[in-house]
């Protein structure tokens, strides 16, 4: 999981308690003008959290409503089936050809924090 405060130039936003996010689940979170898909991998004790842009790059559908492949670390768009890497945001199959934004996330004192660049990821 990338460190959200690694370079100190981006805003760090609080997404709430880790326990509000279902293990092995994805949820859309709208915060500070950013539309995010928050994915929590692993079992109930896991703090393995990924955050990518929620808006599919093929059309405006929510990625958080798609299926997670935990082994591949991808999230599938439910509309037409493109899958996106949770680590890079790159699509791994058509029809999407553009990546979605990725955001550094970490768990601090039981809460998920995400780093957002001032100009990116909206
Ligand atoms: S809207 Fe996501 S693949 Fe088409």
Q: Measured between alpha carbons, how far is residue 36 from residues 28, 45 in Å?
A: 6, 22
In the prediction, which pLDDT does 7 show? Answer: 56
Domains of the chain as residue ranges with CATH: 11-116 (2.102.10.10)
The overall pTM is greater than 0.75:
yes
Sign of CA dihedral 11, 17, 20, 26: positive
- Tens of pLDDT along 31-59? 999 999 999 999 889 999 999 999 999 99
Sign of CA dihedral 93, 94, 96, 99: positive
- Tens of pLDDT along 68-111? 999 999 999 999 999 999 999 999 999 999 999 999 999 999 99
CA of 37 to the centre of ligand 1 (A): 15
Q: From CA 120, how far away is CA 34, in angstroms rounded?
A: 9
Q: Name residues contacting ligand 1 (CB within 6 A).
A: 56, 58-59, 61, 77, 79-80, 82, 95-96
């Amino acid at each position: 999981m990338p460190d959200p405060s690694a370079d100190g130039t981006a805003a760090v936003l609080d997404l709430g308690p880790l326990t509000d996010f279902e293990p092995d689940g994805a949820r859309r979170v709208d915060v500070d003008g950013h539309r995010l898909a928050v994915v929590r991998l692993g079992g109930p004790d896991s703090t393995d959290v990924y955050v990518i842009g929620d808006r599919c790059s093929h059309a405006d559908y929510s990625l958080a409503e798609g299926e997670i492949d935990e082994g591949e670390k991808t999230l599938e768009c439910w509309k037409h089936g493109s899958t996106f890497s949770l680590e890079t945001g790159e699509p791994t199959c058509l029809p999407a050809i553009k990546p979605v934004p990725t955001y550094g996330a970490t768990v601090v004192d039981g809460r998920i924090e995400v780093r957002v660049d001032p100009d990116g990821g909206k």
